[in-house]
Amino acid sequence: MSPLDSPANPADAARAALAFWRSAGVDMDVAEAVFTAPAPQAQPSAPAVRLRAKAAPQTADAARALAAGANSIAELRAAVAAFEGCALKATARSTVFSDGVDDAPVLLIGEAPGKDEDEQGKPFVGRSGQLLDRMLAEIGLSRSSNILISNTIFWRPPGNRDPTPGEIIACLPFVERLIALSSPKLLILTGKAAAHTVLKREEGVMKLRGRRLNYTREGSAPVNAMVMLHPAYLLRQPQQKRLAWLDLLAAETWLRELGVATRT
């Protein structure tokens, strides 16, 4: 079974839910102990699992304050570059914030910069980025005219490891501010990290992909959102490009209905 498939049995479903909460920054140590501890002989009423937020409050506060103070995407870019609350900055070569057109009708958010992105200081410029550009071009989207591209975190994790919940939570206020400032007609989230972090939904990417969803934040109008398979996943599983193609066509149809002309 692919890691993106939805779990078929309750234990796998519970593990997937734990992974979701962990990726949302919640300390899951107590809950995970349930899987590693010997099975209890009898299960009267199981004690409630206590969830504790993991992000250091001062880091989250600093990120929120910096993000809130930015009134344009240019200011937000400067705020991210000035932010010292994510440890990844110490090992990364560059801050990788965005590429494309700041007031584009489409905003795409991926996971994390890799080696090529760290070297060039731009998101999605390596192999998966080149595939992404080809896919977007099929529906008339390009960084030079109508899309803005960013990530869930802004510094490369060493060795391209997965970002930790703390790193994701530290960057989240900037991601949320980016969505607010860009106010896109369509928000595209590629892959699990972006989908789970931004939408705060726990279904697998295979369940979420291609659907018309909403990104909602208190006090703001809902934003049209769609989840797509991550191009790095498509490089590993080329047979799934068929699904990616369907999703691209669904995005194109939605954009047309929204009055966004993508082809000239």
Binding site for ligand URA (CB under 6 A): 110-114, 117, 123-124, 126, 128-129, 151, 232
Nearest residue (CB) to ligand URA, 100 versus 126: 126
CB neighbours of residue 144 within 10 Å: 8
Residue nearer to ligand URA on the CB measure, 17 or 130 = 130
Q: How far is the CB of 71 from ligand URA (least distance, A)?
A: 25
Nearer to ligand URA, 31 or 215 (CB): 215
Residue closer to ligand URA (CB basis): 151 or 262: 151
Minimum CB–partner distance for residue 111 and ligand URA (Å): 3
Residue number, 105 or 129, with CB nearest to ligand URA: 129
Chain-centre distance of CA 60, in angstroms? 18
How far apart are CB 114 and ligand URA at their closest, in Å? 5
Question: Closest-CB residue for ligand URA?
Answer: 110
Nearer CB in complex with ligand URA: 124/174:
124
DSSP the chain: --TTSPPSSHHHHHHHHHHHHHHTTEE-HHHHHHHHSPPPS--SSPPPPPPEE-S-HHHHHHHHHHHHT--SHHHHHHHHHH----THHHH-SS---EEE-TT-SEEEEES---HHHHHHTSSS-SHHHHHHHHHHHHTT--TTTTEEEEESSSSPPGGGPPPPHHHHHHHHHHHHHHHHHH--SEEEEEHHHHHHHHH---S-HHHHBTS-EEE--TTS--EEEEEE--HHHHHH-GGGHHHHHHHHHHHHHHHHHTT-----
Q: How far is the CB of 233 from ligand URA (least distance, A)?
A: 10
For the CB of residue 263, give the shortest distance to ligand URA in the complex, in Å. Answer: 25
Taking the complex as a whole, the smallest distance from the CB of residue 234 to ligand URA amounts, in Å, to 12
Q: Interhelix angle for 241-257 vs 127-138, to 10°? A: 50
Compute the least distance from the CB of residue 40 to ligand URA, in Å: 41
Looking at beta carbons only, is 126 or 166 nearer to ligand URA? 126
